[in-house]
Structures are given as C-alpha cells and as structure tokens.
Amino acid sequence: MRRVFSTALVGLGAFLIMAALLVKFYAQPNLATIPTNYESTTELQAEGATIFDAATLQPVTTDLAISSFTIADSDAAAPEGVVVWVNRTSILNTGVEGATCDPTVDAALPGCFKQDSERVPFDAETGAAAECPGCGSYVDESYVDGDSYAVRQVEVNRSGQIYKAPFDMAKEDMSWWDSSVREASTMAYVGTEKLDGLETYKFVQTIDATQIGTQDLPGSVFDVADDTVTADMMYAMVRTVWFEPTTGSPVKRVENRNQYFEADGQQVPAFVGTVEYTPETVSDLVDGGKSQSFLLGGMVWLFPAILLLLGLAAIAGGLRLRSGGRSDSGHHKNDRELVTA
C-alpha cells in the first residue's frame, strides 16, 4: 500500500510541476492577449455640455448620454497577432424626449447629436495600431450638412495606442491615438492613483487647438449677411486616463473637450464639455480590473511558485514514504531470522 501511495504522490508532484510550467509559459502569455471574440458596451456622460444644434442652428447647453459599443470582427482577414474591432459611438441629447440614434444618422431622429463608427486593426498584445491592408481601417462619421446630418466614410492610417495600453505597463510616456486630429501624440505618465483600492497608472494627453476641417454654415450662425460661411472646425483636448497596469485597460476616463466653429474672428461652440465614464462604468471596470490583475499577475510568479512548491513537496513525500517502507520491511525480516535462530 505504501508503494501505491508513494507512486501516486510522485506522479502528483510531477503533474504539479508541469502545471507550473504551463501556467508560466503558456497560459499567462495566451491570456495576456486581446481575445478575438471581444464584445462590450461602455457608457459615458457629458453633463452641462454645450453643443451646436443643427435644427435650430444655435448652441444649446444640455446633458449628453454617450454609448460606445465595441465588437471584435473574428472573420476579418487579419494576420496572426492582429485583431480588428468595430466600434459605434452614439451621443444622445437627453434633453430631447425619445432621444435615439440609428446606424444611418438622420436629422429626423430625435436627440441624436452625433454618431460615428470605426473599424480598427491593432496588435493583440501591445494594443498599438497595426498595418493590415486586407482588414479595412476607416471611420464612418456624421457631420452637419446645412440644417441636417450626413454620413461619410474616411479611410484612416492609425498609429500609437488605440483602445488600451500594453499589458504590463511601464511608468513612462506613450503615444496615444486621437480620432479627431487623426494622429497620435504623447500621453504623459503623471503618477499612480488608487481607485477604490485598485492601483492605477494615471496619464494625461494635451492637444492644443488644432484645425480638423471646415464646415459650410449659414451666415446667420455668425451674424453676417452672407448666405453661407466656410468656418474652420477647431478642436482642443485634455484627456486623462487611469489604467490598470497589468492588463493595460482603462478604468476611468475624463476628457475636457473644446470643439468650436471659427469664422470672421468669431467662435461658435460645436461640442464643449467634459466627457467621462459614468460612475457605474468606473465601478464595474475597477471591479473587473481587480480580478483580472490578480489572475494575470498571479500567473507570472505566484501561481507557478505555489504549484512548483506543492509539486516538490509531493515528490519528496512520495520518496520518503517509499524509502520508509523499505526500511520497515528489512527490519521485520531480520527480526524473524533472529527468532528462528
């Protein structure tokens, strides 16, 4: 019986040591990558924002509800290590009764201030933009066309981090993509901060006022007699993001946005306000960050070390049991020989 238990312990020990190696060198690297079946909805808000109302051709102050739906295109013709996400962001004016958005933006839809869709290929491990000619990389954007909305598709060559930071983040500046200026710029590391017990890395990106396009608007918008005025669309941003460093996932986001039309020395707000994750979203992301960071972080050293120690202990116990069994057997045999003699 001792031999059976001994063999079982040695076998268990070998299994645990193998499991430690698999966790460290196989499971952890495979989990530290973006899944191809990803799907999520993130809720944001902008309370007291000032937006340009296409129906009245005037700026209005209102609360905005923003929903960002993202899904991975698992059928995309992407090379190994590249994932393709499709995102649709809808911005609703909550001051309008029955506010809703539809993939085909129309001025007749009540309260649909803006809706954009984008298709983005990026590296599954680093989160940085990736070249993928066969994947498609574009933005479907809505814009004001006179007194109504229209939609146009624009191809985009992206760079920098897109939706997330790399796994196992470093405390250093990184390049972050901005979809409005259509280029990446520095997002500076400014320190660590705890959110409900979760340690996060805090980064800030500052974009000075930049012309991002032009817009034909009625002259009345700028109190001029001209029927149409071609205004510059100006954009400035201070973006602050808190990341869970093990996964590189954002858990809190605050954007101070200043977008306005400029013509004849006048500025008319187009979208001015603070856009941020809702408190419920932050709470959910922090809770998820805690469990994910423990799982991924533990797979680096803690879980493999525990499995390794248990495996070595099991093998040592099995060998000791087997050795002790032989010693006892020999002792009894000598006793019987002495009695017989």
**pLDDT of 304 above 70:** no
Spatial separation of the C-alpha atoms in residues 172 and 183, rounded to whole Å = 20
Q: With H, G, I as helix, E, B as strand and everything else as coil, classify residue 20.
A: helix
pLDDT of residue 4: 72
For residues 142 and 78, what is the distance between their CA atoms, to the nearest angstrom?
A: 27
Indicate whether 144 and 291 sit together in one domain.
yes
CA distance 210 to 156: 18
Q: Same structural domain for residues 292 and 146?
A: yes
C-beta atoms surrounding 57 within 10 Å? 15
pLDDT in tens, 153-176: 888 899 999 999 998 899 999 999
Sorted by sequence, the CB contacts under 8 Å of residue 22 that are 6+ apart come out as: none
* Nearest in space to 263 (alpha carbons), one of 298, 237, 226, 297: 226
State how far the alpha carbon of 65 is from the alpha carbons of 18, 106, 245, 252, 287, in Å: 50, 18, 28, 16, 23
Are 13 and 79 contained in the same domain?
A: no
Choose among 164, 167, 161, 204: nearest CA to 184: 161
pLDDT digits (tens, 9 = 90+) for 229-269: 999 999 999 999 999 998 899 999 999 999 999 998 899 99
**Domain span at residue 312?**
2-22+302-340
- Domain count of the fold of the chain: 2
- Would you say 90 and 105 are in contact if contact means Cβ atoms under 8 Å apart? no
Same domain, yes or no, for 314 and 196? no
- In tens, the pLDDT along 263-289 reads 988 999 999 999 999 999 999 999 988
| Residue 165 host element (H or E) | none
Same domain, 8 and 118: no
DSSP category for residue 168 = S
Residue 311 tokens, joined = 């495996």
- pTM (2 d.p.): 0.78
CB 249 within 8 A of CB 164: yes
Amino acid at 160: G
Residue 27 in any domain: the answer is: no
Residues 125 and 178 in one domain: yes
Same domain, 316 and 223: no
Task: State the number of CA atoms in the 13 A half-sphere of 270 facing the CB.
Answer: 23
What would the pLDDT profile of 93-151 be if each residue is shown by its tens digit?
A: 888 877 777 655 454 566 888 888 899 999 988 999 998 888 888 888 766 565 556 67
Taking CA 217 as the corner, what is the angle to CA 44 and CA 219, rounded to the nearest 5 degrees? 135
Most confident residue range from 53-57, 72-76, 79-83, 182-186: 182-186
Only one residue has tokens 């493999």, namely: 304
State how far the Cα of 196 lies from the Cα of 335, in Å rounded to an integer: 69
Q: What is the mean pLDDT of residues 300-309?
A: 67
Query: 259 and 201 share a domain?
Result: yes
CA 262 to chain centre: 34
**CA proximity to 87, closest of 122, 53, 57, 59:** 122
174 and 226: one domain? yes
| H or E stretch at 134 | none
